[in-house]
Amino acid sequence: MRALAQKSEVHGAHTGDVIFKADDPGSSMFGVLEGRVRLSWTNENGQQGYELIEAGNVFGAGALVMEGHRRLGTAKAETDCRLIEMNREKFLFAFRSRPCLPSSFWPQSTPVCVI
């Protein structure tokens, strides 16, 4: 993931900082270089849930595949963080430069390769 940071914007976030809120427009995804992010949401039944995103993982990828995407949850720094932010153009550039990304890059822990 650090190699991708060369073509992406790296941001710092302090504990408690909101990275994005549910229903915000989204046009980029994030990778966690250092720290931990809490992604929380409320489903259609009103039940709340969350996921802790650790260093080496990504979140907000829906913004890269859906035109006019609105964020489905709120991302908040659980600890001080360093984050990579990639819009669709930067992601595709990085992906084409390194077509087989490691499984740690993908939330489903499956390597994705372009042949």
Q: 74 with 89: CB under 8 angstroms? A: no
For the segment 22-62, what is each residue's pLDDT rounded down to a tens digit? 999 988 899 999 999 999 999 999 999 999 999 999 999 88
Q: Please give the tally of structural domains in the chain.
A: 1
Q: With a cut of 90, say whether residue 3 has pLDDT above it.
A: no
Q: For residue 78, which of 5, 19, 9, 2 has the smallest C-alpha distance?
A: 19
User: Looking at residue 41, which CATH number applies to its domain?
Assistant: 2.60.120.10
The whole-number pLDDT of residue 42 equals 95
* Inside any domain, residue 70: yes
* Inside any domain, residue 61: yes
* Inside any domain, residue 110: no
Q: With a cut of 50, say whether residue 65 has pLDDT above it.
A: yes
Residues 83-87, mean pLDDT to the nearest whole number: 88
Q: Could you tell me the pTM of the whole model? A: 0.74
* Rounded-to-integer distance, Cα 103 and Cα 90, Å: 19
* Inside any domain, residue 47: yes
Q: With a cut of 70, say whether residue 110 has pLDDT above it.
A: no
* Inside any domain, residue 114: no
* Inside any domain, residue 74: yes
Tokens of 10: 């790296």
Q: With a cut of 90, say whether residue 104 has pLDDT above it.
A: no
* Rounded-to-integer distance, Cα 40 and Cα 115, Å: 35
Q: With a cut of 50, say whether residue 109 has pLDDT above it.
A: no
* Rounded-to-integer distance, Cα 59 and Cα 37, Å: 9
* Inside any domain, residue 111: no
Which distant-in-sequence residues (6+ apart) come within 8 Å of 99 by Cβ? 113, 114, 115
* Inside any domain, residue 113: no
Tokens of 111: 């390597």
Q: For residue 76, which of 12, 15, 35, 34 has the smallest C-alpha distance?
A: 15
- Residue 15 lies in domain: 3-105
